[in-house]
């Protein structure tokens, strides 16, 4: 029997919140036209330096010319990155979406600093995870392909 190994194609690890975390989702821009809609609460499934995924009862367009803004409370910091949805799915009457952050270099640097701070505080009870996260974060520029097979959910 040939066993298939699932390969994580993401450039960055994603972390699942230990308790349900709701974030505010706002339509931000379609093509080059800025739009601001009323925020909708969605359930964050996972989050990382490259993007996030969430669940909602809303049917959203998965297009690279539509930007959304996600407002999430990460510890004491309120992050407001923009995201482009890359994929969607449906399960038990809910829609699941995953996407990639759209940030300038300065926004990415600030987000990374705050996100790292949030992860360290969130996982304070698991000191071994800090070492693992640091190893993976340090290797992202010198990817040898190994961490893409790493399972941090178990």
Question: What pLDDT, on the 0 to 100 scale, is given for residue 1?
Answer: 45
Structural domain harbouring 66 = 14-149
Question: What pLDDT, on the 0 to 100 scale, is given for residue 130?
Answer: 62
- Please, which pLDDT band fits residue 5 given cuts at 50, 70 and 90? very low
Q: Model-level pTM?
A: 0.73
DSSP assignment letter at 6? P
pLDDT in tens, 102-122: 999 999 999 999 998 888 777
Distance, CA of 84 to CA of 62 (rounded, Å): 8
Answer yes or no: is 4 within a domain: no
Answer yes or no: is 1 within a domain: no
15: pLDDT strictly greater than 60 = yes
pLDDT in tens, 46-77: 999 999 999 999 999 999 999 999 999 988 88
Average pLDDT in the chain = 82
DSSP assignment letter at 3? P
CATH (domain of 128): 2.40.10.220
Answer yes or no: is 9 within a domain: no
User: Cβ(46)–Cβ(52) under 8 Å?
Assistant: yes
Percentage of the chain lying above the pLDDT 90 cut: 52
The total of structural domains in the chain comes to 1
Question: What pLDDT, on the 0 to 100 scale, is given for residue 18?
Answer: 76
């Amino acid at each position: 029997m040939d066993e298939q190994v699932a390969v994580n194609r993401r450039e960055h690890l994603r972390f699942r919140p230990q308790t349900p975390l709701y974030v505010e989702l706002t339509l931000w821009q379609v093509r080059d036209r800025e739009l601001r809609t009323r925020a909708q609460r969605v359930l964050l499934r996972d989050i990382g330096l490259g993007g996030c995924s969430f669940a909602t009862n809303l049917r959203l367009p998965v297009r690279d010319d539509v930007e959304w803004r996600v407002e999430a409370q990460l510890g004491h910091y309120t992050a407001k990155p923009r995201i482009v949805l890359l994929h969607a799915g449906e399960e038990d009457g809910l829609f699941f979406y995953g996407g990639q952050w759209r940030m300038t270099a300065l926004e990415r640097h600030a987000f990374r600093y705050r996100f790292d701070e949030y992860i360290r505080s969130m996982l304070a009870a698991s000191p071994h995870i800090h070492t693992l996260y640091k190893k993976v974060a340090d290797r992202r520029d010198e990817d040898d392909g190994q961490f893409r097979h790493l399972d941090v959910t178990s």
